[in-house]
Amino acid sequence: MSEIINSRSELLFLYDIENANPNGDPLNENRPRFDTEESVALVSDVRLKRTIRDYWYEYKEFNGLGDRQDIFVRETTYEEGDKQYIKDGKRRAKDFQEAEDIILNKCIDIRVFGGVIPLGNDSITYIGPVQFQMGKSLNKTGIIEEQGTGAFASSDKKAQATFRTEYKVPYAVIGFNGVINEKAARYSRMTKEDKSLLIEGIWEGTKNLISRSKFGQSPLFLLEVEYNEPFYIGNLRQRLKLDCGEKNELQIRGTNDYKLDVSELIEALKENKEKIADIHLKVDSRMTMISNGQLIKNISKDEL
């Protein structure tokens, strides 16, 4: 087992989505979550965490953690008589003998994101080392409504098939701020190996989320800033802009329609250079970055 993480990191993640629903609201006809004041799409941190959890669980046989990569927060079932039911939290805890050490050893999602473990008449709460803010689109966008017909009637002896309505955004660049808190990691036992799988899960999980409502989204930009003290800059997403040239934000439909302006982000990194241990960046080849009007290929500590 690798060692517990002992330094703080800050994350900035961008992905784009085209003609799809980044995060439907079940209490609002599954319309995309939306800030009507700013005309921007919203994505909850829970949606991103679910993406990462699903990736960890589905691909665990390929990345070597074995028994240490089970997922506590996932749908599991049990049978009673001739019926099958979904387990609640208490039944799920019993899968691990209601033992704190077993749960932390086996469940990467608890080590990374924390959670509440119900135990008999009590519960244990872990504050996750990894926290994300609500995701927000960097560009203004809208919601489009599509009507369609189903393959079946709503009931027997009906002459017409059912109708369906879908809600999508035409295009959005979604940005997330995140922090990895080394102090919380001491209690949840998040390791450096877990951190590597977190970074992998953010990128590859987003890429592999190929459901009907999410097909059309792809990772663009993932920045990790490692600090040499308990500090973080904060609001990294808010320091980015899309340079759309002569186009209106509402008109963009792909990475060819804009450049990512990282000028303010780089300034903030420069101002805090002495507190930064290292910077890691992964960028999709479709993305064009500029700083003070000049094209740049990378962001690194040596270049600050």
Compute the distance between CA of residue 201 and CA of residue 241 in angstroms, rounded to an integer. 25
Note the pLDDT of residue 163: 60
Burial of 133 (0-12, 13-18, 19+ CB in 10 A): middle
End-to-end Cα distance, the chain: 34
* pTM (two decimals): 0.93
**Type of residue at 77:** T
Compute the distance between CA of residue 141 and CA of residue 8 in angstroms, rounded to an integer. 34
Decide: 170 and 18 in contact? Cβ < 8 Å.
yes
DSSP codes joined into one string, the chain: -PPBP-S-EEEEEEEEEEEE-SSEETTTTTEEPEETTTTEEEE-HHHHHHHHHHHHHHTGGGSS-GGGGB-SSS--EEEETTEEEE--HHHHHHTTTT-HHHHHHHBHHHHHHEEEEEETTEEEEEE-SEEEPPEEESS----EEEEEE-SS-SSTT-SSPPEEEEEEEEEEEEEEEEEE-HHHHHHHT-BHHHHHHHHHHHHHHHHT---TTTTTEEEEEEEEEEESSS-----SGGG-EEE-TTS-GGG--SGGG-EEE-HHHHHHHHHTGGGEEEEEEEE-TT--EEETTEEES---GGG-
Note the pLDDT of residue 67: 84
pLDDT tens per residue across all 304 residues of the chain: 689 999 999 999 999 999 999 999 999 999 999 999 999 999 999 999 999 999 999 887 777 678 889 999 999 999 999 999 999 999 999 999 999 999 999 999 999 999 999 987 889 999 999 999 999 999 999 999 987 655 554 555 555 556 668 999 999 999 999 999 999 999 999 999 999 999 999 999 999 887 665 677 999 999 999 999 999 999 999 999 999 999 999 999 999 999 999 999 999 999 999 999 999 999 999 999 999 999 999 999 999 9
Note the pLDDT of residue 150: 56
Note the pLDDT of residue 209: 81
Q: Residue 145: count other Cβ atoms within 10 Å of its Cβ.
A: 10
Note the pLDDT of residue 162: 60
Burial of 165 (0-12, 13-18, 19+ CB in 10 A): exposed
